[in-house]
A and B are shown apart, each in its own frame.
Chain A
Amino acid sequence: MTNSYEEIKDNDVLLVIGSNTTETHPIIGLEMKKAVRRGAKLIVIDPRKIELVKWSHDHLQLKPGTDVALLNCIMNVIIQENLADKAYIDERTQGFPALARSMERYTPEYGEEVTGVSRENIISTARLYARASRAGIYYTMGVTQHTHGTDNVFAIANLALMTGNLGRRSTGVNPLRGQNNVQGCTDMGCVPPFFPGYQSVASPEVKARFERLWRTTLSSSPGLTATEMIDAAAGGNFRALYIKGENPVVSDPDMQHTVRALQSLDFLVVQDIFMTETALMADVVLPAACFAEKEGTFTNSERRVQRVRKAVDPPGEAREDSWIIARLSSSMGYDISYDRIEDVFREAGKAWPALGGMDYHRLEHKGLQWPCPTRDHPGTPYLFKGAFPKRIPAFTPVDYRPSEELPDSEYPMILNTGRELFNYHTGTMTRRNKAVNLVSPGGYVEIHPADAREIDIENGRMVRVSSRRGSIKVQVRISSRPLQGTVFIPFHFIEAAANMLTNTAVDPIAGIPELKVCAVKLESMETTGVLKSRRSHD
């Protein structure tokens, strides 16, 4: 997030795009409700009628995967009606004329046709957002898990920039991070192109600096992303994987593809707290300590680095991940050992100046938000105050591209996947809780009443949902939440695994898979009626 939780309540307009905030980030959801109570206008852009819609002033129920078209049309209206922040654009950005030209064809009429959102709603949203004095945009995987996920984010950034909603309190471009330490894991360099702190492995100076810091020689060849590694393995071109605290069999697209990839490896090490579906396939399984059994830090969505503290001992011989990694490294002949875990954090601060001013003592209460470069720096509640670092940001014009796999006569429905309130990710933690299992016992497919009528299926019955990748049996939940012609399946439930169906097509820049859109068909398990979509996608 460019901005902070505490600023949400002071937004006067909130644009929530592709984020089921009250279920997936409940506490941030509370801040949004607080803002609405204080008079803010909330616009929800989502193909599902999520709970937050009850709090919204408008719900733009777009067709899945048409976000760029919708956002461009909103920008078109802002430009046409002279609502852009000219002073901000002149002073702090570049490339606006090219963007303005590229928006010309995105008329509200075009938007209505492509996205299904009415012309009037597009215009009113554009006016509302552009005229706001403190407008914040909030988004999650509904924006990013597309083959045009990066384009979606560019479009959001363009919108915020042209209205001057970046670099001030209660504004910003705010991706809400899905897991407790996604932010930190990325910050720490667990991404192929970057050393810790987003420093490019391809830069000779950066590489030389890390070689000095670590007293070693390093590779400058670009690494593979997770999806690329799985693809390489499935193609027989990859030999070994060391998987720590992830369960890709359940979380990655196209489960059979993932299974085949992992089976093709010569050697698989899985380090986890439970015997996950992925660990079942491993050659070596290493038992790890969980969050309550170790010291360290997590970084949350608002870039706040906070202390994690040991409360109990790990069971049996389970050990902290850091201990396991350091010992394994020694066995390979490379010493990365440390005396105290804080030494590792301090080394990260040396590697990346944004953490340089932090230590465990300063993080003791409530933590600090990076960047925090010096010992007396108070941390940064919102980014880009006054100026952008390094270079002036340019607008990045993007054009609408349809999703990779659209419905057709054989697979007439769109499948959307995601989380629900009670369960979490692949369910390894939450599904071991008896109470959670009572309120959320298993998988389901949300289907619009009109679609349910068409295949003559009743609530609670089983259906077979199939895509080109696979097929699952799952219980029907008739609901007005999904857009007609689309269905939703949560991915927590292995016995009705949504990721049996999803598509491995990825965004060309970020490598993120298109988990939010693929084509499926539904068949009633009692009768053989196949649902024909009346939507205009095919």
Chain B
Amino acid sequence: MGSSKVTLNIDGKEVIAEKNSTILDAARKLEITIPSLCHNPDLVPFGGCRLCLVEVAGTSRPVASCAALVQEGMRVKSSTNYLERLRRTNVELLLSDHPNDCMLCERAGNCKLQELAYYYGIRENRFEGIRREYPEQDNNPFIRREMEKCIMCGQCVRICDEIQGVGAIDFAYKGLWTKVSPPFEKDLDCEFCGQCVAVCPTGALTGRMWASKGRQKFREVETVCPYCGCGCNITLAVKKNEIARVYSKKDTVNQGMLCVKGRFAYDFVHSQDRLTRPLIRINPAKDLYLHQENPYADSSSSAGFKPDPAQFREASWEEALDYTALRLKEIKDRHGPDVIGGLASARCTNEDNYLFQKFMRMAVGTNNVDHCARY
């Protein structure tokens, strides 16, 4: 009987929708744009921003289309003078308590609130009153939280709970002073996956490492995260020759979700410690064999090592490769190929590794080629 589908009419157009879908879902099928700040198709409907209001024939008041389910024969108007007036008023109310920080805000040009203000032409604001000010800053190292810019859409709260399953933040206080906050207003101390940053429609949540790296006209490069074996798809937002930020799109194997490493630990690419020239040893290596003692016990971290000019000199590629080839050939000629081995890398591409084993098997002539699949 087709009971799982219903037919409704939006703006004079018929649409068939799943019984348990919302009016907003049905409207999007018709490619009708209804503004919304709190809607996220992955999360439970919230109905908080009141921008997706629509008129339904037979009901006295507008309903939030993101939360109202479709019904057979429903007649919906997505845009009327009355609705647009309501929406404009709602945006004005949000802006009445929003810092005028677009000049410096990381999200300028990619902010839903800014876009709505532009669409409704709101420069002056009829509403004046107390403004939220939060001089105390959250000092966590990953996520900049500017709660004055928060519009209470609740997407961060919901994604943290419903998808990430962490529940690091929630609404606290009441009325104007409602605020998204970690328990007892402590600094955020969570998994720092940044799912909240990804869904925030305004500049309330941004990556600290994004600061002053550019905010528009990025060159987007679609690639794969270099960390664990999940192989999440990431988008590198590049400005000139620098990765300005990392995010992930919805239509990916990871559905736009990332972890702390994938989202925030990309600055190694531009580290001052990167090796930039081939090096050839000029003095014997330090003897690191300290019976049963860790030779690196006093290193503050592995992140500090740089080539020591007393041990290595820089060389051209030609010299370094010719020297390497010569030494390998010498050893191969004297002892045979099977005293030479190669360790490939699970961090490198298939192409790199294909060539590596081909080189070991063909040029060196040994099957001594392995990698860290075991570690």
Contact = CB atoms under 8 A, between A and B. Distances in A.
5 contacts: A184-B346, A274-B305, A291-B223, A292-B243, A304-B253
B209 A435 contact: yes
A27 B285 CA distance: 42
Interface string A1-30: 000011000000000000000001111101
Contacts of B329: 332
Nearest to A334: B363
Given A226-B374, A318-B274, A188 B359 contact: no
Given A332-B329, A345-B351, A424-B265, 16 more contacts: A178-B229, A179-B229, A180-B228, A182-B372, A188-B354, A223-B338, A232-B339, A246-B344, A246-B372, A272-B275, A281-B285, A284-B279, A301-B230, A301-B231, A436-B264, A495-B299
A511 B372 CA distance: 11
B350 A296 contact: yes
B355 A312 contact: no
Contact of A472 (B294, B300, B373): B294
Contacts of B331: 239-240, 266-267
Given A227-B374, A471-B294, A244 B345 contact: yes
Interface string A490-524: 00011111001000000000111101000000000
Contacts of A275: 273, 275, 305-307
A287 B275 contact: yes
Nearest to B358: A336
A78 to B, nearest CB: 30
Contacts, number: 522
A316 B350 contact: no
A185 B278 contact: no
Interface stretch (A57-65, A126-134, A250-258): A250-258
Interface of B: 141-142, 163-165, 191-193, 208-209, 219, 221-233, 236, 238, 241-243, 251-254, 257-261, 264-271, 273-281, 285-303, 305-307, 312, 317, 320-325, 327-329, 331, 335, 337-375
Contacts of B371: 182, 185-186, 190-191, 226, 246
Task: Give the top 10 A-B pairs by smallest Cβ distance, nearest first.
Answer: A300-B231, A316-B276, A245-B345, A223-B367, A296-B349, A177-B229, A331-B325, A287-B275, A190-B344, A26-B259
A185 B302 contact: no
A301 to B, nearest CB: 4
B261 A424 contact: yes
B259 A27 contact: yes
Contacts of A536: none
Given A242-B343, A297-B350, A301-B229, A328 B325 contact: yes
Categorize the interface residue count of chain A: 35 or more
B231 A244 contact: no
Contact of B317 (A184, A244, A291, A319): A319
Contacts of B227: 179-180, 424, 429
B375 A513 contact: yes
B302 A332 contact: no
A296 B351 contact: yes
Given A180-B229, A219-B365, A438-B141, A55 B165 contact: yes
A277 B298 CA distance: 13
